[in-house]
Amino acid sequence: MNNIHKTAIIEDGAIIGDDVTIGAYTIIGKDVKIGNNNTIASHTLITGYTSIGDNNKIYSHAALGSEPQDLKYAGEKVELIIGNDNKIREFTLFNPGTSGGGSVTRIGNNNLFMGYVHVAHDVIIKNNCVFANVATLAGHVEIENNVVVGGLTPIHQFCKLGSHVMIGGGSVVTQDIPSFCLAQGNHANVRGINLNGLRRKFSREDINAIKLAYKDLFESGLPLSETAKDLIKNSNNSYVIELATFVSNTKRGIPFTRKTKEN
């Protein structure tokens, strides 16, 4: 059975699954689809063509699916798709896509969005990520699995963060951050590998392989693109290949301090 507060407004056409709790003064738009076993707290707005999976917990004053903050948006049909088992805290703002970016903002499973996090239009977020308070993702940002973004951190449009990346709090990300790396600063630079994060999930052998690949890429002083191609060609470790492929395919470049003979 659903538990819907008498002051909540559910517009005709909205689809609500089973075992859903909806708090006081929450508004659910007519084109919204909500799956099973979701908890939606008071004073929440869910609007537009927004689809939400199962087992999510959405806290008060979240605004999900309102028009994208893009001057090119002209009222076309665009979507926000949210997966399962996410926690979406107070005063978060998630926008749908735009026609220029595929028309979809897509969020995967088991992510934590702390207070005041903004997910802009056409953002793609995969699974098991954490976004601390006031993390701000501009349009077209892509986030792979198991990423942690520190608080008060903006990420520039079209940036991509690889899997198992850690961004220090208060950073400003303006370029791509490769898988398994730690970055911080204004502007954020790659500072090393995300060793603490990797130790929770990876074998010592794989961590050592990633360490060696990182040194080849960022500490050898050799051309980055050529080193990445050599690693892809010669390594038999899937994580090394993932790291090198990310570097090889970057569109916005990798921010790091290049080694020279002097340093």
Catalytic residue numbers? 121-122, 139
Per-residue CA distances from 2 to 30, 82, 86, 203, 216 (Å)? 18, 20, 19, 44, 56
**Enclosing H/E stretch for 50:** strand 49-52
Where residue 88 falls among pLDDT bands split at 50, 70, 90?
very high
DSSP string, 219-237: TS-S-HHHHHHHHHHH---
Q: Is the confidence at residue 262, as pLDDT, over 60?
A: no
Q: How far is CA 106 from CA 81, 184, 208, 236, in A?
A: 5, 26, 33, 32
In three-state secondary structure terms, 173 is strand
Which residues does 16 contact at the CB level (< 8 Å), separation at least 6?
Answer: 2, 4, 10, 22, 28, 34
Give the model's pLDDT for residue 15: 98
Is the model's pLDDT at 259 over the cut of 80?
Answer: no
Q: Give yes or no for a contact between 22 and 41, defined as CB atoms under 8 angstroms apart.
A: no
Question: What pLDDT is stored for residue 261 in this prediction?
Answer: 53
CATH of 3-143, one of 2.160.10.10, 3.10.20.30, 1.10.3660.10, 2.30.40.10: 2.160.10.10
At 1, is the pLDDT very low, low, confident or very high (cuts 50, 70, 90)? confident
Return the percentage of the chain with pLDDT > 90, whole number.
Answer: 97
φ, ψ of residue 258 in degrees (nearest 5):
-75, 135
Classified as helix, coil or strand, 197 is helix
Q: pLDDT of 158-209, one tens digit each? A: 999 999 999 999 999 999 999 999 999 999 999 999 999 999 999 999 999 9
Domain positions in the chain are: 3-143, 198-249
Q: Given a cut of 90, is residue 263 above it in pLDDT?
A: no
Residues of the chain above pLDDT 70, percent: 98
Residue 148 near residue 129, CB atoms below 8 Å = yes
Tens of pLDDT, residues 103-147 = 999 999 999 999 999 999 999 999 999 999 999 999 999 999 999
Average of per-residue pLDDT across 3-21: 98
198-249: CATH, from 1.10.3470, 3.30.1120, 1.20.1180, 1.10.10 = 1.20.1180
pLDDT in tens, 37-55: 999 999 999 999 999 999 9
pLDDT of residue 258: 81
What's residue 159's pLDDT? 98
